[in-house]
Amino acid sequence: MYFDTHVHLDEFEAEESTEAVIARAQEAGVNRMLAMGGNPEANRLAVELAGRYPGILYAAVGLDRDQASHSPDLADSASLAGSSGVRAIGEIGLDYHYHPETVAAQRKLFEAMLELARKCGLPVMIHSREAEEDTLALLRAYAQTLSDPSRAGALHCFTGSRRMAKALLDLGFYISFSGILTFPRAIELQEVSNYVPEDRLLIETDCPYLAPVPHRGKRNEPAYVIRVAEKLAELRGKTREEMARITTANACTLLNIE
């Protein structure tokens, strides 16, 4: 059994039914997925799908960095966070690459989402791009407010340095690797993946983006998370089945799933 801890199923709706995407994932052995929110529409769809596929799909809700300039409705996210099937607050975080003009607003929104997670007792699924120092500073402050920082959350689609990984691990965070790990030139990232302790590893697709080798350049989907597990297994001297078991158990621990 594989657990894809980061899927954007709202991105598939215009092209084909989410049912077809989920069916292909299950056929491939990907029996659990965490559907990301990040904006009001994605939040509602994630909650709806979690209700439609109990035990298979779980939801994360929240407001991501690209919502910072849109007068975000924090109350709506707070209301949805109590829905059945919601297991995390996300996707949330900072992105100074695509949104450098909203840095201050991003930080304010990120702090509000971290506070929501604290109040709800839910882990956070974090995006960070070209914002390493601010991300770590806010997560340090957040972790200090938690009674159990070992379930603080995860940094998704990790592409950072070993120093960044160590800082996150010291705070109790998990680290999630995507299809980027399979890219031939991702040598430094592959080395970092070996540094992360076994009990802190997660895998994801971040679909429909970042399809792994041999699907690179195509639309990504949850069924392809197996390729990430294969690469991680190869790098760490494990079998694919062992890596599936390890990463699924970690995801269930983080998301409080039996």
Q: Write the CB contacts of 195 (distance below 8 Å, at least 6 apart in sequence).
A: 162, 165, 166
What the block records as the tokens of 236 is 């760490």
- Per the structure, the count of domains in the chain is 1
* Domain harbouring 121, CATH code: 3.20.20.140
What the block records as the tokens of 208 is 């429909």
Q: What is the dihedral of CA 16, 157, 42, 65, to 10 degrees?
A: -140
What the block records as the tokens of 25 is 């994932």
Q: Tell me the DSSP string of 173-184.
A: -EEEE-GGGGST
Look up the domain containing 67 and give its range: 2-255
Give the tens place of pLDDT for each residue, 94-145: 999 988 999 999 999 999 999 999 999 999 999 999 999 999 999 999 999 9
pLDDT in the model for residue 15 = 61
Reply yes or no on whether the pLDDT at 13 is more than 80.
no
Output the pTM of the full model: 0.96
Give the tens place of pLDDT for each residue, 21-71: 999 999 999 999 999 999 999 999 999 999 999 999 999 999 999 999 888
DSSP run (H or E) holding 4:
strand 2-7
Give the pLDDT band of residue 12 (cuts 50, 70, 90): confident
